[in-house]
Amino acid sequence: MSKIVLITGASSGFGQSCAQLYAKQGFKLILLSRRLDKLQQIANDLLLGSGDAFSAADVICCEVDVTDAQAIDRFVDGLPEAFSAVDILINNAGLALGTAPAHKANLSDWETMVDTNIKGLIRMTHKLLPGMVARNRGHIVNIGSIAGNWPYPGGNTYCATKAFVHQFSLALRADLLGKAIRVSHIDPGMAETNFSRIRMKGDNDAADAFYHDVKPLSADDVADIIVWTTSVPEHININSLEVMPVCQAWSPFAIDRTMENKQIIND
């Protein structure tokens, strides 16, 4: 019997590429995002491009905003029986908004990131995990970020939401010891998707400049890693994977030598 994979944020980037890869491998897909038309277009393209391995009966598209707790409840409770026993949950929906330092940031941006990246992810998990436990079968893959491991200026709340994803994933694993349920989190670095355009709020030149003259990860690169993580033999749990393009690495700590803090220096 085909396995069922539910992907949040399947209308773009990593989620869309995961949908394409899982379809090719004969999985049944539940695709979620706020844009139903985009999901339906992706599903139609999959039907045209995946050959006999995949048919219209193998995919459902659902307009769900993961910041809306009731919408999640309605959607999971209303899943058709053929799709209700989800085997793999890819908690991918997420975003960064803005790059301003904390004292200049917009509070509603912070709240949207917390509502999506943290609360959306825990709601989906809370809703689907009991079924996985009852069936003693399942895999949850949470998409974090290098931003959750390494702070950077302007990352403030985005970094913190992804640090949550990291620790929540590890703690879930601890709770699930003794069950045949896997939990993994993947922490990608710089990857070229719509992510930066959304972060820069329509300043597409700034978003595109971020990827200029380098070879970042692609959505397909990250999807390959996600799908591989769920395809290793069932006694193996990939706990945590951090992935960067070769063009990216760490820097030394920043040191302020402007002497603007004379008060501290003179104390």
The item of ligand 8X3, ligand NDP, none sharing an interface with residue 17, based on CB under 5 to 8 Å by kind, is none
Provide the 10 A C-beta neighbour count for residue 130.
9
Which H or E element spans position 147? none
Q: Which of 22, 152, 158, 211 is catalytic?
A: 158
- CA distances in angstroms from 206 to 198, 200, 212, 224, 247, listed in the order given: 11, 7, 10, 28, 19
Pairing of strands 240-243, 138-143: unpaired
**79: Cβ–Cβ under 8 A, 6 or more apart, which residues?**
30, 60, 86
Q: Which is nearer to ligand NDP, 33 or 169 (CB)?
A: 33
Tokens of 18: 């995961």
Helix, strand or coil for residue 135? Answer: helix
Binders in 48-107 for ligand 8X3, by CB under 6 A: none
32 makes contact with ligand 8X3 (CB under 6 A)? no
Neighbouring C-beta atoms of residue 138, cutoff 10 Å:
23
Place of tokens 């996600």: 226
Among positions 2, 24, 25, 35, the unique one binding ligand NDP when judged by CB under 6 A: 35
Q: Are 88 and 131 a contacting pair, CB within 8 Å?
A: no
Residue (85 or 190) nearer to ligand 8X3, CB: 190
Q: Which of 31, 62, 129, 146 binds ligand 8X3 (CB under 6 A)?
A: 146
Residue 62 touches which of ligand NDP, ligand 8X3, none (Cβ within 5-8 Å per kind): none
CA atoms of 179 and 181, how far apart (whole Å): 5
Q: What is the DSSP letter of 73?
A: H
* Residue 156: contacted member of ligand NDP, ligand 8X3, none (CB under 5 to 8 Å, by partner type): none
Q: Which of 15, 98, 138, 155 binds ligand NDP (CB under 6 A)?
A: 15
Contact of residue 93 among ligand NDP, ligand 8X3, none (CB under 5-8 Å per partner type): ligand NDP
- CB-CB neighbours of 12 under 10 Å: 21
For residues 171, 172, 174 and 179, what is the CA-based torsion angle, rounded to 10 degrees?
Answer: 180
Q: How far is the CB of 162 from ligand 8X3 (least distance, A)?
A: 6
Choose between 4 and 165: whose C-beta lies nearer to ligand 8X3.
Answer: 165
Residue 66 binds ligand NDP, judged by CB under 6 A: yes
By CB under 6 A, is residue 143 in contact with ligand NDP? yes
Q: In whole angstroms, give the CA distance from residue 44 to residue 46.
A: 5
Q: For this structure, is 158 an active site residue?
A: yes
Binding segment (CB under 6 A) for ligand 8X3, from list 67-75, 81-89, 140-148, 259-267: 140-148
Residue pointed to by tokens 């004292």: 103
Q: Which is nearer to ligand 8X3, 50 or 193 (CB)?
A: 193
Nearest residue to ligand NDP, scored by beta-carbon proximity: 13
Judged by CB under 6 A, the residue of 145, 156, 169, 229 near ligand NDP is 145
Catalytic center residues: 158
Please give the residue ranges that form the binding site for ligand 8X3 (CB under 6 A). 145-147, 189-190
